[in-house]
A and B are shown apart, each in its own frame.
Chain A
Amino acid sequence: VTVEHGRERRCLSRKGIAYRISREFHDGDIVNLGTGIPSLCADFVDPDQEVLLHAEQGLLGFGRGARTKAEVDPCLINAARQPVTPRPGMCLMDHAESFALIRGGRIDISVLGALQVSVDGDLANCWLPGAPAGSLGGAQDLAFRARRVIAALPLLGPAGRFVARLTLTATAPRCVGQIVTDVAVIELAGGAAVVTELLDGWTEADLRDLTEVALTSPPGGPARLGVPDDRVELWTTVRTEVPA
């Protein structure tokens, strides 16, 4: 074990992961944001880009989250039950139409929270281990039909989140193309996991202690995972406790 136990170091906060994911959005993209970390991405979309954010209950083209109570409209919320703000060009639709948009393949990027992801891109995010019931929400529709699925998957904390084979019930097979973690960005393709970006202060060896998956890196090694240094909300510290 090369991760030094009991040592504090910086890693991305939930907002930091959301920030990094939002760098994947480009002008013209239709992006669905799931609940949890994904819903935080709305606050980091580049305002100069026309990225159409989609909430599964039937809202397309909304803006950042409401900041003050004066901005709150109880009838303008995201899929995570949080008030959001309107943007020019925003449109509303009912649930059937909203999922026609998803099932019909119009979503360029689906950002989903995950309990577990396998190296093959299998996703588990609907059934907690041992729970008597699950919650599918719109995750299955999105995971099956979005053009690209990005999973927000913190690796520090409970072990067993990025695995060789799912141990939890699958939401959808072979759907996740990229995972953004609290220390690295990992691309999944053809059964391989390539660490494309790594946070300063972390090594590839550290990362190998956080997952059973055989990791590879591009020639020359991973790029630096760039998140603005001076934005404190994007960072947190962790005291690494990795099981031997």
Chain B
Amino acid sequence: MINKVVATAAEALSDVQDGAVVAVGGFAGPGGIPTTLIKALADRNLRDLTVISNDCGRGKEFFDRLRGEYDAHDDVDGRLPVPPEFYPVGYLIDLGQVRKAITSFASQMRTSARGPLETLAEKGSVEIELVGQGTLAERLRAARAGIAAFYTPVGAGTLTSVGKDVRYFDGVPHVLEHALRPDLAIIAAYRADRFGNLVYRGTARTINPVMAGSARVTVAEVEEIVPLGALDPERIVTPGPYVDRVVCA
């Protein structure tokens, strides 16, 4: 019998070690960010983690502020609700558990205030590998698909191609990018069954299905675990074999 369901997030992450390379799902958020798993990982109080995530530029305080702004206004005007207890990947950075970040967003892009990652980078206590979003996604997808590296036209001749192999295809320079294979991927989805099949909701899908299966171990948190057969096979986005453990958020 196949059963990937684990009782708690703490149990699902009990074997993560200091120095682990951890991919964390989500984009912009809060939907799609595995906040339960991030909190459980932070509670392990590990050291020297490498995190791979779309947006490492913003810490918990940023989302607390967003929540306050949404709640304080009757109209919307571009504001987004944030759940009461919400831990973004930046929370691990806030706590000083991260040694290296591989990410598309390292800066808040504000001259007025620096984010937690920028502050640490300024002190030299964290390493940053800045990767464009398309390349980040493709490097993870390549890892899952058993592809070692690929050439992309994006970034040729800019800072992001420095030190990388460049080859011309059809007269256009392409940059060699390597697959990114984390030790652990923690992702968020809407529903799962005990085989680890996953479906997503709306824009909370983002990079989660790309990270699934990229790592040696993939842990998914979901809103609901449903009986086998309840998910429409036509609608399953992440096939079960890419997922090792499932917890209910």
Contacts and interface: CB of A to CB of B under 8 A. Distances in A.
Interface of A: 39, 55-59, 65-69, 71-77, 79-83, 92-96, 98-99, 102-103, 127-128, 131-141, 144-145, 169-173
B64 to A, nearest CB: 14
A153 to B, nearest CB: 16
Interface string B105-141: 1111101001001100110000010111111011011
Contacts of B108: 135
9 contacts: A75-B32, A94-B209, A95-B27, A96-B140, A127-B107, A134-B107, A140-B155, A141-B134, A173-B158
A144 B80 contact: no
B106 A133 contact: yes
- Cβ-closest 9 pairs across A and B: A99-B134, A75-B202, A133-B106, A141-B134, A95-B207, A82-B78, A132-B121, A140-B132, A95-B137
A144 B155 contact: yes
Contact of B131 (A83, A128, A136): A136
A66 B79 CA distance: 9
B152 interface: yes
Given A137-B104, A140-B158, 10 more contacts: A65-B76, A66-B76, A67-B75, A68-B76, A74-B204, A82-B79, A92-B202, A94-B209, A136-B104, A138-B134
A68 to B, nearest CB: 6
A77 B54 CA distance: 16
Given A94-B208, A128-B111, A72 B81 contact: yes
Interface string B46-89: 00000000100100000000100000001110111100000000
B31 interface: yes
B28 to A, nearest CB: 4
B109 A135 contact: yes
Contacts of B134: 99, 102-103, 138, 140-141
A116 B80 CA distance: 29
